[in-house]
Structure 1
Amino acid sequence: MLDALAALLKALLYAGVLSCAGGVFAQATLRPPPDSEWVVSRLVRGGAVLTIFAALAHAACLFLQLGAGFDTATLSAVFLSGVGAALCLRIAGSAMLLSTEPIDESARATQLSNAALVTASFAFNGHAAADGLASGLVAFLHVSFASWWFAGLWILRDACARMDFATVAALVARFSPIAFRLVGGLVIAGLLLIGILVDFNNDPWLSSYGRLLALKVVLAGLALALASYNKIRLTARLMKGDASAVRSLRMTIGAELACIGAVLIATAILTTYTSPHGQ
């Protein structure tokens, strides 16, 4: 029961991190129109609140799993470890994001630093962080790129639903080249993490970790396939002035976000129930 709760809280934590950090990253790079301010603010503030709640609740769940109570020795073991460092970074970064207005250009550097604190937490805690500093840094980049993609898709989907064709086309024109680079970096970082964590000499795909990892890769592949379709077909139609492509783009972005959500759930289960080193 506690493991299931821990997995649920991790999934919520991942969603919160991708929302709050990604909202800041996307706002800084995409320069969305003023009509998108509400969705950016909702992503950052809602994501920050969710991150703080899920991080604290997951820490409490961890204490219950340890079964040792809240004594000094247990508190020291948790808070003086990578788990404690990650918890502090997530709460501090999210709290500071709540203290500034997400669309305030004068606070952009501060917001980016705070968002980076949140995603940097993955360099200190998790399967990758346990393998060393280098793999932790790769995990930090992987999560940062995923955050931008996740939030950028929400901003783009909102634009497709509410804004005129010219505004959508201009936003897509800015989104597409950035997405090509950052999602490409996301894929490379993900492959590096698989190469670092998986021992391919011991039939990894027969283990519980290997099967769950394979499921995660398939789900991520579906999201990437949809992104490629958007890039190759729908973006091309938009650039040619085909207004009917906006509705199709909104639908495929919704499917893309659903796939990313499934990846977050698979990752939460993967990191809760299995280990690349133990199975």
Structure 2
Amino acid sequence: MLEAFAALLKALLYAGVLLCAGAVFAQATLRPPPNSSHLLSRLVRPGAALTIFSALAHVGCLFLRLGAGFDTVTLSAVFLSGVGAAMCLQITGAALLLITDPSDETARGTQLSNAALVTASFAFNGHAAAEGLTSGLVAFLHVSFAAWWFTALWVLRDACIRMEFPAVTALVMRFSAIAFGLVGGLVIAGLLLIGMLVEFANDPWLSGYGRLLALKIFLALLALALASYNKVRLTKRLAAGDASAIRSLRTTVGAELTCIGAVLVVTAVLTTYTSPHQ
């Protein structure tokens, strides 16, 4: 029961991180029109609040799972470890995002730094951190790219619903130009992490870890296939002036967001119940 609760809290934490950090990253790079810009601003604070709540609740759940009291030894073991470092970064970065105005263009550099604090937490906790500095840095980049992709897709879907054709087309073109590099970086970072963390000789695909990892990879590939379809087919239709492509784009972007959400859930279960190094 505690493991299931811990997995739920991790999924909520991942969602909060992607929302608050990704909204800042997307705001700085996409330069969305006012309507979409306001959407991104509205995502920052709820995402930051969810991050703080989930981070605190996850640590509390960890104490319950350890079955230990709040004695000095246990407190030191938790808060002086990677778990404690990650929690401090998540709470600090999210709290700073809460107290700053997301729409303040003059504070964009500060907001980016605060968002980076949140995603940098993944370099200090988990399997990647245990492998060393390089894998921790790759994990930081992987999460940062994923955060941008998640919220940028949210902006695209909202634009397809509420904005006129010329504005949607312009936004899609900017998204496509940026996504080629960032989503490509996301894929490369993910492959590097798999290579660094998984000992294929000791972790057969038929194990619980292997099956969950395979499911995560399948969902990620499905999201990438949808992204490729958008890039190759729908973006060209929009550029050619085909307004009917907007409805198709809204559908496929919604499917991409669903796939990414499923990846978060599978990752939460994967990191709670299994480990490639047991």
TM-score by length of 2: 0.99
Tell me the residue number matched to 1:139: 139
Counterpart check, 1:61 vs 2:98: no
Flag the 1:127–1:61 CA change in 2: closer, same or farther, 3 A: same
String of CA shifts for 1:146-182, please: whole Å, max 9, x gaps. Answer: 0000010001111110000010001011000110100
Flag the 1:58–1:203 CA change in 2: closer, same or farther, 3 A: closer
Displacement of 1:200 after TM fit?
2.0
Unaligned stretches of 5+ residues in structure 2: none
| 1:97-116 alignment, distance < 5 Å | 97-116=97-116
Displacement of 1:101 after TM fit?
1.2
Tell me the residue number matched to 1:169: 169
What's the C-alpha RMSD, in Å, of the aligned pairs? 0.8
Contact residue 198 and residue 204 of structure 1 kept, 8 A = no
Identity rate, percent: 79
| 1:172-191 alignment, distance < 5 Å | 172-191=172-191
String of CA shifts for 1:6-64, please: whole Å, max 9, x gaps. Answer: 00000000000000000000000000001113311222111101000100000100010
CA distance, structure 1, for counterparts of residue 128 and residue 204 of structure 2: 16
TM-score by length of 1: 0.98
Displacement of 1:131 after TM fit?
1.2
Q: Which moved more, 1:200-209 or 1:85-94?
A: 200-209
Tell me the residue number matched to 1:119: 119
Could you say what secondary structure the match of 1:101 adopts? Answer: coil
Contact residue 203 and residue 209 of structure 2 kept, 8 A = no
Displacement of 1:204 after TM fit?
2.4
CA distance, structure 2, for counterparts of residue 69 and residue 17 of structure 1: 29
Tell me the residue number matched to 2:225: 225
Alignment-mate amino acid for residue 271 of structure 2: T
Equivalences, count: 278
String of CA shifts for 1:199-221, please: whole Å, max 9, x gaps. Answer: 12235212211111010000000
String of CA shifts for 1:248-275, please: whole Å, max 9, x gaps. Answer: 1011100000000000000000000000
Alignment-mate amino acid for residue 260 of structure 2: I
| 1:1-279 alignment, distance < 5 Å | 1-202=1-202, 204-278=204-278
Displacement of 1:231 after TM fit?
0.5
- Runs of 4+ displaced beyond 6 Å: none
Could you say what secondary structure the match of 1:204 adopts? Answer: coil
Contact residue 123 and residue 137 of structure 1 kept, 8 A = yes
